Amino acid sequence: MTIKKSLRELCPAQIPLQLRRPLPQAEGRGARVHILALGDVGATLLLGLKVLGAGTIGTIGIYDINPNVLERYEREMNQMGWSFEEAEAEDGNTVPLPEVVILKEEELFDCDLFLFCASKAIPAIGVKGDVRMMQLEANRKIVEHFASMAGAADYKGIFGVVSDPVDPLCKAALLASGLEPGQIRGFGLGVMNRRAVYYARKDERLTSYPTEGRAFGPHGGDLVIANSIENYDDELSRHLTRLTVEANLEVRELGFKPYLAPAISSGTMSVLRALRGQWHYSSVYLGEPVHQAEDGTRTAEGAFLGVKNRIDGIKLEYEDLMLPLPLYERIKHAYDNLCGII
């Protein structure tokens, strides 16, 4: 008999995950999305949400330490739109694009979804190794600062992390903020799934992945790609995983920073599906309740792990498949490593 295990077995004491208020779509209104930092990733994410967010997003607030960057993107984004104003009223398929507004720092958490795109230490072209983890310490301090601001503001929306390394930064935000675990999610796994699809379509041995496969784990070296859930092949899956993990290095070797696909696949596409209550890839907290000591320090036995999930009302549901043991062990290894980072 084939032994199978579920994701829930990673943490038997898993706490239920939920939001503090329903998604805006459930209330019949467009979401207020705020983006912190308009570097390569933040600006590309902004463009994607502006162009594709009609009907889902009402306004997009932007904040950056450079006022000229803010002025530029407010102008350029709000000069985008359909050819004729009257088409917006006459054509049922033509919905006005979201308005982009400049924020003051104290307005950052007056929203439904906050997206952390700040990054202090982006490795230069030519740097070897897992460039994502190289950014942890510098970006951790920044995310902790803004997460503590969210906690102080009694923020009730979603705190989304886009900057690398996504999953450890989510946990840092959880411990620094006092927010509910269900309020925090990392948008990093979407591009790993799309990179796996890209390579699978180039190899006839891997054609099952786009329809039968899954992605799990962090946006980084411990990523787990499964060629198929029902017909899992460990060797093929590890091969596809290697191709996926190293995809960003291939772009770097061409002399470019690989930020376009992450900003759109992990960012825009995943964010929009999350706001619509649809299945998507993002990192969610799998662990026990956060413990706060008398001195105020917080600890958590768990980690943020990328999985297929959705928001149903205020509850978070993740796809809890029965997994072949070799696949489960790969995911457990990734989860255990994430638990040990912070």
> Could you read off the pLDDT of 166-189 as tens digits, one per residue?
999 999 999 999 999 999 999 999
Asked whether residue 340 carries a pLDDT value surpassing 70, the answer given is: yes
Going along the chain from its start, the domains and CATH numbers come out as 24-191+253-341 (3.40.50.720)
> Torsions phi, psi of 169, nearest 5?
-70, -30
Q: What per-residue confidence (pLDDT) applies to 93?
A: 63
Q: What per-residue confidence (pLDDT) applies to 185?
A: 98
Burial tier of 177 (Cβ tally within 10 Å: 0-12, 13-18, 19+): buried
Angle between helices 325-341 and 234-245 (to 10 degrees): 40
Q: Are 41 and 263 in contact (CB under 8 A)?
A: yes
Judging by DSSP bridges, how do beta strands 99-102 and 224-226 pair with one another?
unpaired
Q: What per-residue confidence (pLDDT) applies to 136?
A: 86
The pTM score is 0.94
Structure tokens at 32: 């207020």
Share of residues in the chain with pLDDT > 90 (%): 87
| Cα-based distances in Å from 77 to 47, 59, 101, 163 | 7, 12, 10, 22
- pLDDT tens sequence across 92-144: 567 889 999 999 999 999 999 999 999 985 655 555 555 556 778 889 999 99
Contacts of 122 by beta carbon, 8 Å cutoff, 6+ apart = 39, 135, 257
The amino acid at residue 68 is: N
Structure tokens at 71: 């002025």
Q: Where are the alpha helices (DSSP H) in 122-265?
A: 136-152, 166-177, 189-200, 209-212, 234-245, 247-253, 260-261
Q: What per-residue confidence (pLDDT) applies to 108?
A: 98
Cis peptide bond upstream of 262, omega within 30: no
